[in-house]
Structure 1
Amino acid sequence: MNLRPYRPSDVSALAELFYQTVHSVNRRDYTAEQCRVWATGHPDLSAWDASFQAHRTWIAEEDGHIVGFADLDVEAGYLDRLYVHKDAQRRGVGTALCDAAEACARAAGVRRLETHASITARPFFAARGYALLREQEVERGGILLKNYVMILEL
């Protein structure tokens, strides 16, 4: 596996990976309706690209195929997205991406890293030492989705 910086030409592949992951991996913890509003299949690619470029974004590749991505808002100390391809689960991709984001945050002098973890991702972050700050519900398309605000003291 290789980690590399984001390129604008990646945005469509990342949107597809996000859609496939939510509708397969996260489907075990969320209803079909929740997954449908979370990952509609029609994201605003220009907004995604702008967000990825504004953040520090890593792409995980294996044999030239994108198998995961993560992005960090360094100024806010916020790990925004961390998604691993449905066929690359439990192979260290998420760990490598999270390691890179945490190392970047430390190097930038961030003292506390925050993420909003899905039900599915909560055990992964808890195992890394992220503490539960609070449970919350976010609204997407009139539907509520539960997630968890978690923090890691760096």
Structure 2
Amino acid sequence: MVIIRPYCPEDLEKVIQLWWRTWHETFTELTHPQSYGVWMVRFRDELAVRGLIWVAELENQIVGFVVVMPEERYLDQIFVDTRYHNRGIGSMLLKKAKEACPQGLTLQTLQRNTQVSAFYERHGFQPGKLGVNKINGQLNIEYCWLPLLDESRGNITY
């Protein structure tokens, strides 16, 4: 059974390992310009300080996480271990993000990540402007979720 719980500092190494491995498994043809150590510092000193974070656990193993910046209503990161895709874990984490920001959320993802774009669209996010990721230089796309838009379509997706 998957448990969604708040992140705690003791989770740092396991979350960073999952984040690093999953990103690189998803984008096998890309080399990320930042090192593992930079990811660790960014998560610990920026994301964990400013964001709300939940982890997904299965049999005492972290298999996913989500980071939401509530002041900006921004979903900064959401990752599920590739070995656990298509089990509803991403949906559970996304539900936590929506509950944290019931007035709406924005996010950015790489344009080439069509599988995750379809996931966001299934969950009521609408594609928006195109841009370039400021960290890795790849083309990205912004998505926006507004609960009133979902409600008008007869979907209430929390």
Q: Same fold (TM over 0.5)?
A: yes
Q: How much identity, in percent, do the aligned residues show? A: 20
Contact persistence 1:56–1:74 (CA under 8 A): yes
Of 40, 53, 60, the match for 2:56: 60
TM-score, normalization by structure 2: 0.82
Partners of 2:66 and 2:94 within 8 A in 1: yes
**Following the alignment from structure 2 to structure 1, what is the Cα–Cα distance between the partners of residues 42 and 23?**
19
Cα deviation, residue 117, structure 1: 1.9
Whole-Å separation in 2 of the counterparts to 1:136 and 1:103: 27
Is residue 100 of structure 2 the alignment partner of residue 104 of structure 1?
yes
- Indicate the structure whose relative CO is greater, using CA pairs within 8 Å and at least 6 residues apart: 1
**Bigger strand fraction:** 1
How far, CA to CA, are the matches of 2:67 and 2:137 in structure 1? 24
Over 3 Å counting, the alpha-carbon distance change for 1:26 and 1:123 in structure 2 is farther
Gaps of 5+ in 2: 148-158
Q: CA RMSD in A?
A: 1.7
Query: Which amino acid is 1:93 matched to?
Result: I
**Which residue of structure 1 aligns with residue 30 of structure 2?**
32
- Asked whether 1:131 is paired with 2:132, we answer no
CA, structure 1 residues 74+88, in 2 after alignment: closer, same or farther (shift >3 Å)? same
The match for 2:12 is 11
Q: Secondary structure at the match of 1:42?
A: helix
Asked if 2 retains the 8 angstrom alpha-carbon contact of 1:19 and 1:40, the reply is no
1:6 maps to a residue whose letter is Y
Partner of 2:105: 113
Kindly provide the amino acid, as one letter, of the partner of residue 30 in structure 2. A
| 1:44 Cα deviation after fit | 4.8
From 138, 142, 157, the equivalent of 1:145 is 138
